[in-house]
Amino acid sequence: MNAKAALKPLTDEERLDWLQLYRSENVGPITFNQLLDRFGSARAALRSLPDLGKKGGRVLKIASRDDVTRELERSYKFGAKIIASCEPNYPQLLAELEDAPPIIIVKGFEHLLTRPELNRAIGVVGARNASINGLNMAEAIAFDLASAGWIIASGLARGIDAAAHRGALRAGSGGTIAFIAGGIDTIYPPENESLYEEISDRGLLVTEVPFGVQPIARHFPRRNRLISGLSLGLLVVEATVNSGSLITARLAAEQGREVFAIPGSPLDPRCRGSNSLLRDGAILTESAGDILEAFEQRELPYRNSKTGLSDVRLTRAPNRSVKSSAQVTTEAEIELARSRIPELLSATPTEIDRLIEVANIGRGAVQMVLLELELAGKVQRQIGNSVSLTF
């Protein structure tokens, strides 16, 4: 059965449960899914949080029901919508991520997330202080891809991001999705206010950050993983060696996405990062045709012979089912894990499977103790099913 067919919308109370759990202290995307798998529902997980935090050595701050109710109401009043990862209108490609956000807030043409063409989305990123040539290239390629029915995803930043959005909007036949680092109501940078409004009217704005929150430094890498995660591939147009665009390219490669880069002068610092991507195996790109050609030999888009619509085939099952996978463990096993697990961990990420093997303790007990430690802020969960101590 199609994974999407098993999904269903949340009730109003369930949506508040999800929002309250996700807004609680130390509950990130991976932890959220661990809690949901273990306890079966967001409400049951919320009831268990205080005890889990106490066992991990910390009194957790649980998001208040009043606060998340106000967030939901403010979002709706603003014309935005809150979508949970268990719902059919949550994008399947994004759900493929190990750290897919349990909640996203969207404003604009929501159908861009789920229309068949979404399995033909390209992320475009690059320098904020881009050259005129870089801006022209980004806009031209975005225009050509959007004219061919592709969706352009970017981050609404000045420079390359803004040029890519404008190219897609100018084409009209495709679409553009802007992932923003602050709340859905925040416009950053302020100079892109008119572009923000145009995307709100003709495209889609997406964030996982609460309403009213201004963007801060740590929000941007998290935003970038969504740009690459929603897309089949990522195009980098001008990037310095230490730029956020290169971080996004690394995330795209880790997510199994194609990475494209436009070559530039070795004398221009803005091109050294993108040139380094080419040395590392990125696809050299001089036009939209290079991107289209790269996907010509692939089986995308997937076409359903009965419906005539495209289906997204995930490389692994989406991390968004609401089913309990709690394992039977004894209190003695859990107590043993509480004494053994912290001493086996360090600041260097350790694979959980290896941790279970060395500790020689049941998986259920180890996962329970890791949840306790993570909620207490003593352990960080890393991509790739790994954990590390927090100092």
pLDDT of residue 261: 96
For residue 326, pLDDT over 70 is answered with: no
Q: Assess whether pLDDT exceeds 80 at residue 328.
A: no
The larger pLDDT score, comparing residue 301 to residue 259, is at 259
Of 174-188, 221-235, 327-341, where does mean pLDDT reach its minimum?
327-341
Share of the chain above pLDDT 90, in %: 59
Domain range annotation of the chain = 3-92, 109-299, 331-389
Where is average pLDDT lowest: 182-186, 226-230, 328-332?
328-332
- Per-residue pLDDT at 325: 39
Distance CA 261, CA 248 (A): 12
Over range 91-111, report the average pLDDT: 91
Which residues are within 8 A (CB) of 44 and not within 5 positions of it... i.e. 6 or more apart? none
Which of 119-123, 155-159, 319-323, 381-385 shows the highest mean pLDDT? 155-159
Side-chain half-sphere CA neighbours of 233 within 13 A: 23
Is the Cβ–Cβ distance between 35 and 116 less than 8 Å?
no
Average of per-residue pLDDT values in the chain:
87
pLDDT tens digit sequence for 4-17: 445 789 999 999 99
Q: What is the pLDDT of residue 229?
A: 93
The pLDDT value given to residue 376: 87
Can you give the pLDDT at residue 309? 29
Condensed to tens digits (0 to 9), the pLDDT of residues 176-225 reads: 999 999 999 999 999 999 999 999 999 999 999 999 999 999 899 899 99
Among 3.90.1150.10, 3.40.50.450, 3.30.360.10, 2.102.10.10, name the CATH number for the domain at 109-299: 3.40.50.450
pLDDT digits (tens, 9 = 90+) for 162-173: 999 999 999 976
Q: Is 370 helix (H, G, I), strand (E, B) or coil?
A: helix
CA 70, 71, 77, 78: dihedral to nearest 10 degrees? 150
Helix (H, G, I), strand (E, B) or coil at 229: helix
Short-list 142, 134, 136, CA closest to 170: 142
Topology of domain 331-389, CATH: Arc Repressor Mutant, subunit A (1.10.10)
Torsion of CA 126, 131, 136, 138, to 10 degrees: -10
Sequence-separated (6 or more) residues with CB below 8 Å from residue 269: 240, 241
User: How many CA atoms within 13 Å lie on the side-chain side of 162?
Assistant: 20
Residue 129, SS3 per DSSP: coil
Q: Which two tokens stand for residue 200?
A: 């709100």
Q: Global pTM?
A: 0.83
From the number of C-beta atoms within 10 Å of its C-beta (0-12, 13-18, 19+), residue 28 rates as middle
